[in-house]
Amino acid sequence: MPEIQKMNRKRKKFLKLYKSFKEMDADDKKYWASASMEERVEARKQLWLNYCLFKGINPRGQKLQRVLKIVKLPQS
């Protein structure tokens, strides 16, 4: 199986070719199960920034909206 390796500051990056999606999914699950919490959070942040760049969104301007709703409860 040919692999192309490229060095990064934090970790090695490589390209791996798979024969099936099932094999790829299994390898992907194994990778993320072995990743630390910090690596997973950093990957999520990077995905969010990439999405914002792609959509033309200011990542600092997007925030969760606060919602408040007053509900009257039936008296028993």
pLDDT single digits (tens) 20-49: 999 999 999 999 999 999 999 999 999 988
At residue 2, does pLDDT exceed 60? no
Whether 50 and 56 have beta carbons less than 8 Å apart is answered as no
> Is the entire prediction scored with pTM above 0.85?
no
Whether 15 and 3 have beta carbons less than 8 Å apart is answered as yes
